[in-house]
Amino acid sequence: MDDDEDEDRFTRAINDTLQAQAGADEYKPVTVDAETLRSLYRAEVFCCAPRQPGLRATYYKSAIPDVHMALSQPCNRFFHEDDFEYAVLKEGKCPYSRAKEVGDFGTV
């Protein structure tokens, strides 16, 4: 499968979700199958650990790859990469959760 076809699959999933929620009262997240998820660039996908036992991990795709983001592993919060690195290096902890172990910066 080539890159254009992979991106088309994800774009179709977005368009299908937008059509399904047109006029709806609630937001519905874009959901893709495992094959589509595997076809995405790893550098553009963030994995958040389940918040409770029994739940599945949640994956997020960067909509604007040129904007570098970081994910704090303890609290599953996103930050601009430079801001997050600066805060962790200066304070020695996540600026949101105050956890000292933030993972490997989870940057993209």
Kindly list the domain boundaries of the chain, sorted by start residue.
Answer: 3-91
Q: Which residues contact 106 (CB under 8 A, 6 or more apart)?
A: 46, 70, 71, 72, 73
Query: pLDDT tens digits, residue range 71-98?
Result: 998 899 999 999 999 999 999 999 999 9
pLDDT of residue 7: 63
pLDDT of residue 79: 94
HEC string of the chain equals: CCHHHHHHHHHHHHHHHHHHCCCCCCCCCCCCCHHHHHHCCHHHEEEECCCCCCCCCEEEECCCCCCCEEEECCCCEEEEHHHHHHHHHHHCCCCCCCCCCCCCCCCC
pLDDT of residue 65: 84
pLDDT of residue 58: 92
| Spans of the chain, pLDDT less than 70 | 1-7, 104-108
pTM: 0.72
